[in-house]
Structure 1
Amino acid sequence: MKVALFATCLVDALFPDVAKATVTVLRRLGHDPEFPLQQSCCGQMHVNTGYPREALPLVRDHVDTFEPFDAVVAPSGSCVGSIRHQHAELAEQAGDHALAERARAVAARTYELSEFLVDVLGVVDVGAYFPHRVTYHPTCHSLRLLRVGERPYRLLRAVRGIDLVELPRAEECCGFGGTFAVKNGEVSTAMLADKMRAVGDTGASVCTAGDASCLMHIGGGLARLRTGTRTVHLAEILAGTMDSPA
């Protein structure tokens, strides 16, 4: 199987260790993903902010880049949600039906990391070790658009040394929502406060999720309050071993 890593622009620019951890996990399972240098933003930011026409070239670039691969893996439920639910629709709205068909085909082969591990590779135990008390935040796009459900939990429960604790009101949004956090700062901050309170109630030293964007938001709040709780992407937990726990 020819596998590609779609790192996403946020991970590539701000959290490269998440992409490296994704590669580490996949290589451990016998797959060496390619990293096409042509890849860029998926266009979600443009669409969600009201610029669908400007997003269309990004859709075309994404399709051209990842069409040759059997599977595309991304450490982001948000970006995979955009690829599946926005790309073909954008092309159709622009009257480019050929591009829409190609976009649907690429989207059908694109997976959020936990989906790829559990559904495609049929693996739950990836050989990880992470000796920390951890709580998991199901991000909105992974929860509602992709419906990843129990997949991340199944992967986390198989991690050696982990103390996995349930997050109260886990399904509530953390308040990030991309530009929502900028345009609606007060509401976003109130939602973040609720999420941080829930994380604090677990006594966890680590909050994890499948989206670096939400972890950036939550982690920033936790750091400002000096709670001692850090945020770690799911991929980084799964990449941890006895020799080098994340």
Structure 2
Amino acid sequence: LHRVLRHPSLLPHVFGGKGVGSQGDGCAQLLCRSKADQEKVCVIVENELQMDALPLNLGTDTPKLKVAVIPCAGSSGVLLYPATKCIKAPLLPILDVDGYMKPAVVKIVEEACTVVEEVILIVKPEHLEDFSNVFHRELHRHEFDNLPPGHKEYGARLLELGKKVRLVCQELPQRGISEALISVSREVGAQPLLLLLGDHVYHSNTGKSCAAQLVEHWQGCKPKPIVGLRPTPLTV
């Protein structure tokens, strides 16, 4: 055990170590400096010391990204006025690349669901029913029967998508994203989250969604936060 704990090749890769047992049946526990150091330690132990190495990770993984939050309560859509006088900006219809006319928020939720298991929409209490109708209300039979076959299929997919959507009312004044996030602090807790704006439509010109690209980069630098931006040329 002392030979292992003092082996010069191991020292640069560990913070320290501890021997357990001393009658020939013990083991040495080494606290490695990083994942890469752990891999090197295993190679040294097996090749130089001719011993078995058992890697063990305890509490080192950042929680998996499972939830996306989309604030819709403060989406005033001033540039879309007067349409937004009667329809919230996230509920305005857009023609998506799949050929379906859908509320903008549906495309945003579809974007989020490429990388998360649950989507939380933050809405005003007076708009709760409108958003619920989009994701959770089934059409009446006669309405459904009048749909073309492709739209019937998409309607079923939309209800399935709605199973991942949870609506949370924002009682606080709509003074920015910070108040919106406070509204869901109990639901989200300390876990990482994906934040998408409810009045911004995201579309990738590659085979990978914008959300997937963002999360992929986050995986390489977590637990640090990361933000995705699109350069926009200045216009006069």
The interval holding the TM-score normalised by the smaller chain is: under 0.3
Between Structure 1 and Structure 2, the one with more helix by share is 1
Q: Which has the higher strand share?
A: 2
